[in-house]
Structure 1
């Protein structure tokens, strides 16, 4: 089981120990470092800035929101970062949700799977650089058919260092997970539970079995974001995870369209999810966090004494997950590395 570091997206400002954590992750032998974006900091600038202090660790976006950039802009950023990092970049993409896509970016959200398929296709056309890029889809048309009427199919002036830069897709629902297995090189689950491993194996298998699938289970990467809190007190450890879970279950999405919430409903926590969402949307965030059951935390996180974490890690090692993406400062990364590696 490999380890990755998730720096995430910023809250009010840059995480104070992020630069040191990235350097520590490479020193500790972590396989990858990931950055994210929501509607504040972007994911590319911090990755380039902090990644420039590293030598070999993989640098990935988890995730870059597709609505934030046209496919060609994303392809340009990816081939630029891949050159600057000497071939260490991984492009992690995600559709986000309707509140952010329509509220922040001013784009339509419906049919995200079909949109993702077109987006990835165009990105790969740019990297292939075998001819000028043209595309006639339901969501993207290159060159643009209107405007001044002077649009021209173009080919990147920059020769990509790699024409097969890995693309990983963030996905939570079964259809999106299947799409990742079909068209991508990896999957980035945000909330994974070993109890749901069979459910996700079926979804992945559907994608791998489709005609023209890009990968097989043997060469497909699954990198799951998993909170790991090593603490002798289980409840104290769980308390450090509860606010984040309450945010995603209760507030990351509209009441009637919260995909994160549905992950936990499928795990059997429907009653708790209703309560958490109700409290969160009423502005009672501390109460919402307190309403997150310890069992729910333990389903998607590794929390508690070192021995307990090691014992529960065995369940994760039997799943489709290849890499645990964890968070923390340099000291906590040391502790996590010691526990995970025994």
Structure 2
């Protein structure tokens, strides 16, 4: 199993040079990859380029770049440029985000996320292959554009710059069953938000179509603390926020995933409490079992023991967040 450093997206304040320093430490320790994210603050590509300029070997991934933030060809241009500048270290991680962000921040419809993803990936593959001018007859990203307001002068184009790699890896962040199955079919890797190595059957059928070499880079919060209750608290707080607040009452993909993993009643209650403004109560409703399964929590000895379940799973890379001390502990246990 490989390790990756997940830096996520920024909070209210920019992280300064700390993310570069963490990435450099991860590279020294033998980590395979470093990942940056975006929500509705910083973008994913700019910090990754900055980190790439200060490292030399570690792979550089977006986890994830949101589809609605840029057109497929614009996204391909960023990936193409970063792959060249880094000497072939780029991993393009993509995701649809959710209706609140897509419609509230980007001002675009969220409809048909699965077919939108397929079109998006197909266009990027065409750009990277550079075998013919890029075209697309789909309803989401028509190329050339011929809809309302068109001048009728659109011309299919190839990228001016020859991509460094035709097969630049594309990973997808996916949660719903159809989206995960499509990921196994069209992508080179999968970025699950929650993964339990103890419930591999939840995704087994959806991953059957994966090609040889398919990667699964799973996020696992790591909290080393001899007090298990304290170690699990940050995991439960994160879960309560995503399951309770990252979505609407109608649709919340994180809540739906928790339900599919066997905790439907608890997921309903967490959302109910969160919408009532009772966030602390919602955190306490998150089952210890669920938080424990998707994280690595407890004493160092316990974490080391529970790592065996991850090693016996289809997961190829474990993405962790933490300070230099935690990075070293994980390198010692895994690498």
- TM-score, length basis structure 1: 0.94
Residue among 160, 163, 166 paired with 1:160: 163
| Secondary structure class of the residue paired with 1:194 | coil
Aligned residues: 332
Residue among 227, 233, 237 paired with 2:231: 237
- Unaligned regions of 5+ residues in structure 2, if any? none
* Separation (CA, whole Å) in 2 of partners of 1:14 and 1:77: 22
Contact kept in structure 1, 2:36 and 2:44, CA below 8 Å: yes
**What is the match of residue 8 of structure 1?**
8
Contact kept in structure 2, 1:237 and 1:303, CA below 8 Å: yes
Q: Is the counterpart of residue 194 in structure 1 residue 188 in structure 2?
A: no
Tell me the CA shift for residue 199 of structure 1: 2.6
Q: Is the counterpart of residue 263 in structure 1 residue 264 in structure 2?
A: no
**What is the match of residue 63 of structure 2?**
62
**What is the match of residue 53 of structure 2?**
52
**What is the match of residue 310 of structure 2?**
316
Contact kept in structure 2, 1:193 and 1:299, CA below 8 Å: yes
Residue among 169, 179, 182 paired with 1:179: 182
Contact kept in structure 2, 1:223 and 1:322, CA below 8 Å: yes
- Unaligned regions of 5+ residues in structure 1, if any? 209-214
Contact kept in structure 2, 1:171 and 1:188, CA below 8 Å: yes
**What is the match of residue 94 of structure 2?**
93
The list of structure 1 runs, each at least 4 consecutive aligned residues, that deviate by more than 3 angstroms after superposition, is none
Contact kept in structure 1, 2:202 and 2:261, CA below 8 Å: no
Tell me the CA shift for residue 80 of structure 1: 0.3
| Secondary structure class of the residue paired with 2:184 | helix
**What is the match of residue 211 of structure 1?**
none
| Secondary structure class of the residue paired with 2:200 | helix
Deviation string, structure 1 residues 123-143 (Cα, Å, up to 9, x no partner) = 111111122212111211111
Contact kept in structure 2, 1:22 and 1:51, CA below 8 Å: no
**What is the match of residue 31 of structure 2?**
30
Moved more, 190-199 or 82-91: 190-199
Contact kept in structure 1, 2:95 and 2:173, CA below 8 Å: yes
* Separation (CA, whole Å) in 2 of partners of 1:51 and 1:330: 18
Contact kept in structure 2, 1:34 and 1:59, CA below 8 Å: yes
* Separation (CA, whole Å) in 2 of partners of 1:183 and 1:298: 31
Contact kept in structure 2, 1:230 and 1:335, CA below 8 Å: no
| Secondary structure class of the residue paired with 1:136 | coil
**What is the match of residue 330 of structure 2?**
336
* Separation (CA, whole Å) in 2 of partners of 1:105 and 1:270: 31
* Separation (CA, whole Å) in 2 of partners of 1:299 and 1:327: 17
Tell me the CA shift for residue 290 of structure 1: 2.7
Deviation string, structure 1 residues 202-249 (Cα, Å, up to 9, x no partner) = 1111x34xxxxxx23xx1101001111111111111112222111111
Q: Is the counterpart of residue 169 in structure 1 residue 166 in structure 2?
A: no
* Separation (CA, whole Å) in 1 of partners of 2:146 and 2:7: 40
Residue among 292, 298, 301 paired with 2:292: 298
Deviation string, structure 1 residues 89-126 (Cα, Å, up to 9, x no partner) = 00001111111111111111111111111111111111
CA RMSD of aligned residues (A): 1.3
